[in-house]
Amino acid sequence: MAAQWLAGPQRPLTRFGEKPIFAEGLYRIAQDSYAWMVPNGSWGETNIGLLDCGGESVLIDTCWDLRFTSEMLKMMQPITGSAPITCVINTHADGDHCWGNQLFAQSTIIASKACVDHIHHTSPLAMTAMQHVGRLSRHLPIRTLSNFGHYMNEMLEPYDFRGIRVRPATETFEQQKLLNVKGVELLLMEVGPGHTDGDIIVYVPERRVAYTGDILFAGSTPVAWAGPVENIVRGLQKLMELDVDVLVPGHGPLATHAMVKQQIDYWDFLQEHLHLACQRGIAPQHAVHELLLSSRFKDTPFAKWDSPERAISSAFTLYRHWGFELPALPGKLGILNVMRHQAGMAMCMPHATPSAMHCRNPKLLQGR
């Protein structure tokens, strides 16, 4: 069956002021199977799954903040009113897939053990602090700091992290888990570490749908926080083997097997060019800058994807796994340093989307 839009907030623009490539909201994607889809797939524009299992519902992931999670739940009420959510599955530990967990105090929450071990890698308080730092540092006279401040401020501006209490899963597994809810079987398969330490995909064989988490981004540049990238590629190859009609990616529009193959091609392309740079001793941020501004990148389909600057984060991960000696900045300082380089890359790509990340004219940022 074709995906059918059921309900949504009907915003004219995305959270970052872009023209939406699909309507935000709840879609029926198969019999009693749904996806909450958020255009266009940038920071926190996360897709969520919902399965009606005959009187009980399973939710796959939650939103980055309580406001957007509550808005989604209100739109799901025609389904969940008669089939309440008794189980929540987190595909991984990034906040935009699990920070709404606290609204499900009576529900079982399931995730991989590695996801639970990783869930406190950052905190809502730290993100709120980063919003304040971004607002202040974008006005500093030092260009690298003002770029960083602008980038972080704009990419976090749609979200409110106040009041969030990170709630980890109450039930964990390793490798694989078969979940039966009122006779509906869900196969949970661990494919991380890759995007993060604890990535899983959720496959519903009888409904021919799969919810991929952030192993798959559709029309949006993927990112490897944890690596190795080989695990991400193996996860994508596993998706290619599933007998499904619909793939719900972590970000972007509903996906096809052709989109999965294209993402495998992206990782092959990125590794091929960055590995040569790594062997020549070129730092990851400089290698990505050279690559993304080159004609060979601009001639690829990846150049049209949202958020191309994410390649900076992936490059640092790749270099680390290749044994390249990176600056020894501890913990969160290291992450902030990578984000600083990512902000600089965004400023060098004036045609990349979302334009908010590099746009200096607030009049262009409408629809907030």
Q: What are the residue boundaries of the structural domains of the chain, listed by start?
A: 4-119+164-256, 124-160+265-355
Strand ranges across the sheet with 48-52: 4-7, 25-30, 33-37, 48-52, 57-60, 85-89, 108-112, 171-173
**What is the β-pairing status of strands 246-248 and 209-211?**
parallel
- Residue 12's region, left for phi above 0, alpha for psi from -120 to 50, else beta, is alpha
pTM: 0.94
Q: Is the separation of the CB atoms in 134 and 156 below 8 Å?
A: yes
Place of tokens 């501004």: 293
Give the separation between CA 337 and CA 327, rounded to whole angstroms. Answer: 9
CB neighbours of residue 270 within 10 Å = 23
Tens-binned pLDDT, residue by residue, of the chain (368 aa):
689 999 999 999 999 999 999 999 999 999 999 999 999 999 999 999 999 999 999 999 999 999 999 999 999 999 999 999 999 999 999 999 999 999 999 999 999 999 999 999 899 999 999 898 888 877 766 677 788 889 999 999 999 999 999 999 999 999 999 999 999 999 999 999 999 999 999 999 999 999 999 999 999 999 999 999 999 999 999 999 999 999 999 999 999 999 999 999 999 999 999 999 999 999 999 999 999 999 999 999 999 999 999 999 999 999 999 999 887 666 677 788 899 999 999 999 999 999 999 865 443 333 33
Angle between helices 257-279 and 229-241 (to 10 degrees): 160
Residue among 259, 209, 251, 311 at smallest CA distance from 97: 251
Quote the radius of gyration of the chain (alpha carbons, Å).
20
Domain 4-119+164-256 has CATH 3.20.20.70: no
Give the separation between CA 200 and CA 112, rounded to whole angstroms. Answer: 7
